Amino acid sequence: MSSSDSDHDRDHDRDRDLTSRSAAGLAAAVRSGEVSAREVVDAHLARIEALDGSVHAFLHVTADGARARADALDAQRRSDGPESLPPLAGVPVAVKDVLCTRGVPTTCGSRILEGWLPPYDATVVARLEASGAIAVGKANMDEFAMGSSTENSAFGPTHNPWDLGRVPGGSSGGSAAAVAAGFAPLALGTDTGGSIRQPAALCGVVGVKPTYGRVSRYGVVAFASSLDQVGPFARTVEDAALLLEAVWGHDPADSTSIPTPCEPILPGLERGVAGLRVGVVRELTEVDGIQPEVSAALEQAVKLLEQAGATLDSVSVPSAIYGLPAYYLIAPAEASSNLARFDGIRYGLRVVPGEPGSANAAAMNGATRHAGFGAEVKRRIMLGTYALSAGYYDAYYGQAQRVRTLIIRDFDRAYEHFDVLLSPTTPTTAFPLGDKVDDPLAMYLSDVCTIPTNLAGAAAMSIPAGLDGSGLPIGVQVLAPGLGEAVMFRVARALELGFGFAARARPGGPA
């Protein structure tokens, strides 16, 4: 990356200021003419250039495309006036590498897709562009979104901006780290079992997993189709709502997309929580090995909401404890089928074994998958293949689907008495790189609080709730029934005001 001539007079403080601002603030500044979209983009690209060598939030930075897009928006403002600008004009966004971007490398963190240039944009990417937001790069991730630390990326891990020796969480670790490090005020991730909320918690940012079907999955490289959902990262609750509202809504290209209109979030964001009933989920709070500071943060969240006028009580969602095992049958089962298409025939990596001309399609297929997939992906493909096998289907996949039905029922019962639910996002704060790579089960447990929401197809988000004794961010999770985003965001906003985290905290690490 190199700065263009017009950037020479820009000083470091100015860049630092622009990369600290919220998306809402940047959009307003671009609209008012205080800064140009190009200045905003250049400031963020400069910060990426300076710091991403140590964070590794990006697999691919689209500097040229971002500058061209910024220039086009600036030209539009000059010719058609500020009113002509779309709502997020000039706001940089990091895009998880699982989202297809036309002509821009999309690897899903896997060798098997290295060099693949999608011929089409994911619906959310197209909507992002229509909103005026500017994609600055493709964010690192656990290979095919399988993982909770971004260490499963074939292209090396992302480092937590708060402590470079620790993981950012995963699988959307690159997106979370990019927002935490000031590389972009917004990012898109995907959440299959907590892949947005867990890294948001570990990186001290807001992360939202919307209701299943609320955001289009068209162009999202599938991990587990019945669980995957795209959602926003931001440093403020308002920014997260802005991004969600830019990309959500019915998409005829996704058959599981919900056709009912979206209830806008922003108009009610500041309405407060007075009179709302909030339930603290016992099964997601009394988790084995939970860090005391995480429990303390949750207690503080309860107090903050009570002070703001909400009614708090404890609630049981009994089947939630079966979420983790059910998830690790359903998700790998679907993944084993979704990932079958990576066979070396049409796109991506192709490995031809043996003497030239001696291999057949099956041998090429096997060699390609052997070389192209990492250990965790292989593990889950095998798990899923087994779970779907004749004679085991009922005991595994079938049983897991029955658990899923129970979880949905139990949440429904809870929501008869509560508007939203509350829990920690993760049992612990960010763990050191390498700590759990040899212990898949320990790694899986870091998603224990987030998984039930995916199984239920409901909404949930993680809000920064302060720092632990080591200066690492803690997250609390607000859970809402399906299509309950508006009330969920109101509660999140109240917690944001109460914790005052966004206003004061910046990662100390690389900044």
Partner 1 sequence: MTPPEPSTPSTPSAPTTPSETDAPDTIEVGLDGHADGWELVVGLEVHVELATATKLFCGCANEFGQEPNTNVCPVCLGLPGALPVLNELVVEYALRVGEAFHFDVPAQSVFARKNYFYPDMPKNFQTSQYDEPICLGGHLDVDGVRITITRAHMEEDTGKTTHVGGGGRIHDADFSLVDYNRAGVPLLEIVSEPDIRSSEQAKAYASELRATLEAIGVSDVKMEEGSMRVDANVSVRRRGSDGFGTRTETKNVNSIRSLGRAIEYERARQIEVLEAGGRVVQETRHWNENDGQTHSMRSKEEAYDYRYFPEPDLVPVAPTPEMRAAVRAAMPELPAARRDRLVAAWAITERDAAALLGTPGLADYAEAAVSALEALEALEALAVDGARGGSPRDIVNWVNGEIAGHLNETGSSPAALSLAPAALAELVGLVAAGTISRNQAKDVLGEALADGRRPARIVTDRGLAQVSDESSLGSVIDGILAANADAVAEYRAGDDKARKKKRGFFMGEAMKALAGQGNPQVLNRLLDEKLEGNG
In the complex, the residues that contact partner 1 under the rule CB under 8 A are 99-100, 106, 108, 113, 116, 118-120, 122, 217-222, 224-226, 252-256, 333-334, 336-337, 340-343, 345-347, 357, 360-362, 365, 385, 388-390, 393, 397
Shortest reach from residue 500's CB to partner 1, in Å = 39
Give the nearer residue to partner 1 in terms of CB position, either 116 or 501.
Answer: 116
Spacing of C-alpha 372 from chain mean position: 24
Bridge partners for 467 per DSSP: 473
Spell out the residues 6+ positions from residue 356 whose beta carbon is closer than 8 angstroms to its own. none
Residue 373 CA to its chain's centroid (Å):
22
Strands across the sheet containing 459-467: 58-61, 134-139, 92-96, 186-190, 230-234, 206-209, 459-467, 473-480, 420-424, 277-281, 311-315
Q: Which residues contact 355 (CB under 8 A, 6 or more apart)?
A: none
At CA 179, angle to CA 296 and CA 18, rounded to 5? 120
Distance CA 226, CA 455 (A): 8
| 264: number of Cβ within 10 Å | 12
Instruction: Name which of 3 and 389 has its Cβ closer to partner 1.
Output: 389
DSSP E strand boundaries for 15-127: 58-61, 92-96
Helices (H), 83-122: none
Between 442 and 483, CB nearer to partner 1? 483
275 or 391, CB closer to partner 1?
391
- Shortest distance in whole angstroms from residue 419 CB to partner 1: 28
At its nearest, how many Å lie between partner 1 and the CB of residue 381? Answer: 11
In the complex with partner 1, the residue whose CB is nearer, 96 or 436, is: 96
Residue 75 or 340 having the CB closest to partner 1: 340
Task: Give the residue numbers annotated as catalytic, written as ranges.
Answer: 96, 171, 195
Q: How far is the CB of 361 from partner 1 (least distance, A)?
A: 5
Q: Cβ closer to partner 1: 350 or 413?
A: 350
Query: How far apart are the C-alpha atoms of 200 and 194, rounded to whole Å?
Result: 9
Shortest distance, position 435 Cβ to partner 1, whole Å: 31
- Write down the least CB distance from residue 314 to partner 1, Å: 34
297, 300, 302, 307: CA torsion to nearest 10: -160
Neighbours of 490 (CB within 10 A): 24
Nearest to 136 by CA among 53, 72, 70: 70
CB of 85 to partner 1, least distance (A): 29
| In contact, 44 and 92? CB cutoff 8 Å | yes
